[in-house]
Chains A and B, each alone.
Chain A
Amino acid sequence: MHMSNRNHLIIVSALIVVFTFVVRYVFTLIYQLPPQYSAEAEQIDILFDAHFWVIAFLFALVMVFMLYAVVVFQRKDGDDSDGEHFHGNTTLEIVWTVFPLVAVVVFGVWAHQILNNISEAAPNELTLNVTGYQWYWEFQFGGDSYTTNEGMTVEFTPEMVSTNEVYVPVGHTLNLQLHSKGLSPDDSGVNHAFWVPEFRVKRDLIVGHTYDLKVTPTEIGHYRLRCAELCGAGHAIMLAEFHVVSEEDWEIWLAEVAEGGLPGEKLYTQYGCVGCHSLDGTPMVGPTWQGLYGSERVFADGSTVVADDEYLYTSIVNANSQIVEGYSPNIMPQNFAEQMSEEEIQQIIEFIASLSESE
């Protein structure tokens, strides 16, 4: 084993090259980005790729040296002598300070460039107001109208508000206006974050601020908007369907939204019940309303009752009075009696009842 230092280094260098490619290949197996469905993603992924190369190289560099030393410079049994005596090498230290320095500056400037590109204003942006509540999303297109690239004008009416679902036309740069609101006027709400992994970009919805974010979806498809900032019990299920469709389909959907449904259904979103109660049995922070009406309710204290109008009324105005088994008190707001008129409460109860009839 009396190889010269130079020979050791030659072997190590060769191994590093090989190992870099191996690590980079392993990354393609274990580290996958979601599909790339926005103009922003196309640019960001280039940077991702570069990062993965650098990580692979540096990982290979340090690990090959270390493992090589472990294998080659082992102490023989019974050899109590010490290793080569050298303290350091200033040239080397300077080299491995300066090279990483250059590397990080290059990456910094490059990232800076990409960031500028993806936040540049596009010629014909479509403004979409996105509001986060605990725990649902509300969407409304901004302005009175929008002229598409083909010159068609789409009118927006104030009724065109949708919850946990939105359709946007493909290929248009969306100018997202992000707000966060509370469930009642004296509630500040909490922070959320807008993230559709296929689009890559992310932005927080901070209480008291309006932020903007530009996204240009490039592929028709059905994506999911996921709240990416911890916002309480319902954070995990604060999702919305984000549909990217053709312009025609978008207009059809807008017309549907403008029509609306039962009055109770509107209130269901208006007062935020949608944040905690699903209509289709999906488990959420509160019990689903599917099949609720007329069913037997079991409470935390073991008592039961059949859900009729009266029960629903008390549950809405005084949620803490009876806690459904498996759920927690103090989650559902206690002030709906002040916020809603008697009539509205009745409309909601009617709506809940209608969910059981249809079955």
Chain B
Amino acid sequence: MRHIPHLGITRGLIGQIVATIGGIVFVSIIRMLFGYPSFSENIEPAVAFGAVAGVIGFLLAAGVLTDWIAWTRGEDPHIHHGARDGRPEWTRYFSVDVNHKIIGIQYGVTAILVFVIGGILALIFRFELVYPGMQFLTMEQYNTVFSAHGIIMIASILLGVGALINYLVPLQIGAADMAFPRLNAFSFWVAVPSALLIVAGIFVQGWDSGWTAYPPLSVKGPVGTQLFLLGFWINGFSSIAGAINMIVTVAIMRAPGMSLFRMPIFVWAALATAIIQFTATQTVGVALTMVTAERLFGMGFFNPLSGNPALGIPGGDPILFQHIFWFYSHPAVYVFVLPGLGIISELLPVFSRKPLFGYRWIALSSLAIAIVGYFVWAHHMFTALSPNVRLVFMYSTLFVAVPTGVKFFSWIGTLWQGKLEFPTPMLFVLGAISVFLIGGLSGPILGTIPTDLHLHDSYWVVGHFHATMFGGYVFPYFAAIYYWYPKITGRMYNEALGKLHFWLMVPGFWLMSLGQMRAGLVGMRRRIADYDPALGVTVTQTIVTVAALIIAWSMLIMFYNLIVSAWKGEVASTNPWRSRSPEWQTPTPIPEFNYDQPIQVVGNPYDYGLESDPGYIHVMPASGD
């Protein structure tokens, strides 16, 4: 208990609150002095400033910026490893720490907490949708809740992706840490106050523009919109900094002998992800900044009425936003899934006891998906674009199916003639394949314009993206948690409960997603607080809600399993899955700097069943004398 006041998270939260209030008061006073409308008449400028100040306050108080500030003062502080001031080891998880494994866990746990918030929001509006008519939410509240659900789930995915990449990549390439450990800590910690901003937006009048924030609606929306925009925007710093760090780490810090095509396949996925993140994220930043500026300063980027035809001044155009937004947000959907698909490729060989089929093709298909992904953005705008422009995007969109297909077929090749075993992680991997398949296959039908004219903004789209995100992220993420759990905690999770989780979640998910697609096809629009009983989707909607409850239950079982097993679970051996990957060759718990002796790569990562196998890595003999 006595350590709590010293924890980075405690100090950060206090810093955020103090700085937010300070910022609000400061702006209110300035505005009063200059004779602008008072706080109660227009709270937005003060709230916006307070929000940004709050994030900075959080970072300062938590100690994220300490070393950098010292640098500007002409000092050259050394990186601090280990718990500070002789505090116990657990405090590291709640404070600013530079070890990539700690940061990975911090990301991972935060991702789950944020996921639960997003899931509870989903349950709230799913209850509203059980019957036609408004039950217990107003229409404005409904809009706030589903918008928050969308963006919070996406924030959760970004955190989860950060968890996987941070924890695994340095271990898998045989490095001691990321290239820039302090920047790594920054990437995680900046995501915390930004997530809080989004959550705060729900309570500060809410917002009604969905996660896509299309103007003019997002320009007209209540103050919560501003907090959501800023939270989303600041989250971008996390992605950009994390991605640059990740690329540099892979480029510079691979173990000797680890050529690009001898990297564990997950590292390829992480690389492709990072390439998308550090480029496209900038553009969504521009889009969000523009909406913020239009709200705060009346700059007319998106408002056609802002111009002055008499003076020849052109007005804005709302379509511009959609272009810039989707230029990020389409590639972003591959950020969500590429690491997950990497997990699938990583685990399949281990549980099939066979080499990964077509390693190079899988590795390059990740890059291909990332690159083609840049040229398809306008498929979200088929109903808003001029007829000719959209044709180009129809073709490019359809091409994405090709590299994705390569992955599926290679996975089948990996399973074929294997010696398959089915512990919980493998089940989740197989579940992921089936779910991502239906998600992916519901994509090209959206990609051909004539069919999209019917499906656009219907529940079919909702079904499509839940299936892709569950298959490409949620299922693989759970697989990864179960799979690396013995390495992280040193104990085994409970296999029976793990299987129960799986067998509840799979049917729950299928009901949910197929139900959503079905409703969309017969004509149910998305983002509606109430639906027309005449459509005949009431039963379907009720089933989707029940499915959501099943998913929630299955996750409660997982939480129970993970928490209890950390204390009571069977002690796990160093390499319970008989994997060849480097992280399993190092002791549990993993040493502070991952490998006590440097490792050297001498073989291929997935050569299961190879006769006279040199192995994948060698631990180098102790150097020195």
Contacts and interface: CB of A to CB of B under 8 A. Distances in A.
A33 B453 contact: no
Interface string A235-250: 1110100000000000
Contacts of B517: 31
Given A104-B444, A108-B394, A62 B525 contact: no
A85 B401 contact: no
A32 B422 CA distance: 36
B457 A85 contact: no
A235 B527 contact: yes
B521 A32 contact: yes
A100 B221 CA distance: 44
A208 B434 contact: no
A232 B418 contact: no
B592 interface: no
Residue from A74, A81, A190, A283 whose CB has the most chain B CB atoms within 10 Å? A190
A62 B408 contact: yes
B361 A195 contact: no
A51 B445 contact: yes
Contacts of B530: 236-237
B287 to A, nearest CB: 15
Interface stretch (A91-99, A138-146, A150-158, A305-313): A91-99
B208 A88 contact: no
A107 B398 contact: yes
Contact of A230 (B358, B417, B527): B527
A186 interface: yes
Interface string A40-51: 000110011001
A328 to B, nearest CB: 6
B319 interface: yes
Nearest to B303: A188
Interface residues of B, number: 97
Contacts of B450: 43-44, 47, 111, 114-115, 118, 200
A226 B537 CA distance: 15
Interface string B404-418: 011011111101111
B359 interface: yes
Given A5-B417, A208-B304, A326 B138 contact: yes
A122 interface: no
Contacts, number: 284
A226 B417 contact: no
B456 interface: yes
A189 B214 CA distance: 13
A234 B451 CA distance: 27
B480 interface: no
Nearest to A46: B450
A232 B143 contact: yes
A93 B406 contact: yes
A326 B135 CA distance: 12
Interface string B513-541: 01001100111010111111010000000
Given A92-B413, A100-B401, A104-B402, A190 B448 contact: no
Interface string B390-402: 0100110011011
A69 B454 contact: no
A111 B322 CA distance: 24
Contact of A188 (B304, B359, B528, B609): B304
A88 B418 contact: no
B438 interface: yes
Interface string B485-529: 000000000000000000000000000001001100111010111
B345 interface: no
Contacts of A115: 387, 391, 449-450
A319 B580 CA distance: 70
B140 interface: yes
Interface string B204-224: 000011100010110011100
B457 A193 contact: yes
B315 A208 contact: yes
Given A65-B415, A66-B434, A83-B609, A203 B317 contact: no
Interface in B114-143: 133-134, 138-140, 142-143
B579 interface: no
Interface string B421-439: 1100000001001100110
Contacts of B357: 86-89
B358 A93 contact: yes
B595 interface: no
Contacts of B410: 88, 93
B220 A190 contact: yes
A230 B437 contact: no
Interface in B141-164: 142-143
Contact of A104 (B214, B399, B418): B399
A331 interface: yes
A30 B514 contact: yes
In this complex, the interface size class of chain A, counting residues with CB under 8 Å from chain B, is: 35 or more
Contacts of B383: 193, 202-204, 228
B304 A108 contact: no
A200 B493 CA distance: 50
Contact of B222 (A118, A327, A330): A330
A283 B137 CA distance: 13
Contacts of A75: 353, 419-421
Interface in B307-336: 315-319
A337 interface: no
Given A104-B398, A191-B318, A202-B383, A30 B518 contact: yes
B318 A207 contact: yes
B318 A66 contact: no
A69 B434 contact: no
B387 A202 contact: no
A133 B144 CA distance: 21
A343 interface: no
A58 to B, nearest CB: 6
Nearest to B142: A236
Contact of B318 (A30, A101, A206): A206
Contact of B354 (A55, A85, A111, A285): A85
B445 A206 contact: no
A63 B437 contact: yes
A59 B608 contact: no
A229 B355 contact: no
Contacts of B405: 96-97, 100
Contacts of A297: none
Nearest to A87: B355
A73 B449 contact: no
B416 A204 contact: no
A230 B521 contact: no
Given A43-B450, A104-B398, A236-B528, A96 B438 contact: no
A65 B416 contact: yes
A6 interface: no
A84 interface: yes
Contacts of B622: none
Nearest to B387: A119
A231 interface: yes
26 contacts: A30-B518, A33-B522, A44-B450, A47-B450, A63-B434, A74-B422, A75-B421, A83-B353, A83-B609, A86-B357, A89-B413, A104-B444, A112-B391, A186-B305, A188-B303, A201-B454, A206-B318, A208-B304, A230-B209, A230-B217, A232-B208, A234-B139, A235-B143, A235-B528, A236-B530, A283-B133
- Closest 4 pairs (CB-CB, A-B): A208-B304, A197-B523, A82-B609, A111-B448
